Amino acid sequence: MTGARILHAQLHLLDRQVVRARDGRQVCKADDLELKHDAEGRPYVSAILAGPLALGPRIGGVPGRLIVAVTELFRPEEDPAPRRVDMAQVSGIDAALSVDGDPEEPALERWTRRNLIAPIPGSGAGEDTAAPPGPAGVRAEEGATRISEIIGRPVSDATGTPMGQVADVQLTQDGPLLRGVQHAFRVSGLIVAPRHTGQLFGYERGPGGQAPLLVRMIVRRLHRGSRYVTWDQVASLGTPPAPIRLSVPAAETAPLTELYERDPAT
């Protein structure tokens, strides 16, 4: 029996193009991922979040706040939300993320079309009824968080010793059933890297971590201080920007090299 599919959020999902399955038309970009919690309190990916209100908080700092402020200035809603594509609509994950159906038109584009373009004689925008009525954005349910609130966070072991920061989040497709269609991708582990190692590109782990021997040796040496933390070893995610606390000392976590054997082929 084939095991559950395993992906890494930063490596396989974030910043990928989202396209309609039936014709390949671009829908949006995966700027962030919404997380909900199952009955046992384990987080799983419930939706793709897109647009400036998803990207801005993920970027953070002054640029991120500026993106959010400018977007909210042009959004007519009292409390605008990022564009949300339910994970139950995702039918394929490859170089792009394929979605079934017709995801809702972005709120800002719909507002612009209806209020600025439609009044222009001959524009034809006022005759377009394809976009669904109702609120421009769907707000996340209470208690929902984002994957960007985990990636980049500092991590401390059970003794309070700093281990580095979260470079990526491992996801396993064994979570709750989404609309009776497919199982959700559950957060099953964290890739923790020392701050000085820089960005990870996948060669230091699996899946997708296979590389020529020389490249693999160099990358593994560069990231020899990086660790894999299972979700069961996480004591508390806490609240950003506080460190994520583990329930075990750093010595009990696994080196990334073990992911080659731990992860099945995808």
Q: What is the domain-level CATH number for residue 95?
A: 2.30.30.240
Residue 133 lies in a domain: no
Task: Work out the percent of the chain whose per-residue pLDDT is above 70.
Answer: 71
Identify the bridge partners of residue 230 per DSSP, sorted by sequence position.
189
Average pLDDT, the chain: 81
CB atoms within 10 A of CB 260: 15
- Among 127, 143, 167, the domain boundary falls at 127
119 and 162 in a single domain? The answer is no
Q: Where are the beta strands (DSSP E) in 103-158?
A: 145-146, 154-156
Residue 195 lies in a domain: yes
Residue 240 lies in a domain: yes
123 and 10 in a single domain? The answer is yes
Out of 110-114, 156-160, 186-190, which region has the weakest mean confidence (pLDDT)? 110-114
179 and 98 in a single domain? The answer is no
15 and 122 in a single domain? The answer is yes
The number of residues making up the chain comes to 266
Q: For residue 219, what pLDDT is reported?
A: 64
157 and 119 in a single domain? The answer is no
- Among 90, 110, 127, the domain boundary falls at 127
123 and 21 in a single domain? The answer is yes
Residue 137 lies in a domain: no
Q: For residue 73, what pLDDT is reported?
A: 84
94 and 169 in a single domain? The answer is no
Q: Which amino acid is at 54?
A: A
Q: For residue 179, what pLDDT is reported?
A: 86
18 and 92 in a single domain? The answer is yes
255 and 217 in a single domain? The answer is yes
Residue 140 lies in a domain: no
What is the residue whose two structure tokens read 């090299």? 257
Residue 127 has pLDDT above 60, yes or no: no
Full domain range(s) for residue 77: 6-127
Give 125's contacts (C-beta < 8 A, 6+ positions apart).
Answer: 113, 114, 117, 118
156 and 99 in a single domain? The answer is no
Residue 207 has pLDDT above 50, yes or no: no
Residue 145 lies in a domain: no
Q: What is the pTM assigned to this prediction?
A: 0.80
Report the number of distinct structural domains present in the chain.
Answer: 2
| Contact criterion met (CB below 8 Å) for 12 and 208 | yes
Residue 248 lies in a domain: yes
Q: For residue 109, what pLDDT is reported?
A: 54
Residue 115 lies in a domain: yes
110 and 194 in a single domain? The answer is no
| Contact criterion met (CB below 8 Å) for 67 and 52 | yes
What is the residue whose two structure tokens read 């309609």? 20
13 and 122 in a single domain? The answer is yes
Residue 7, φ and ψ in degrees, nearest 5: -130, 165
CA dihedral 32, 133, 89, 171 (to 10 degrees): 20
- Among 57, 92, 127, the domain boundary falls at 127
Residue 161 has pLDDT above 90, yes or no: yes
Looking at per-residue pLDDT, the higher value among 52 and 156 belongs to 156
Which burial class, exposed, middle or buried, applies to 151 when counting CB atoms under 10 A from its CB (0-12, 13-18, 19+)?
A: buried
Q: For residue 226, what pLDDT is reported?
A: 87
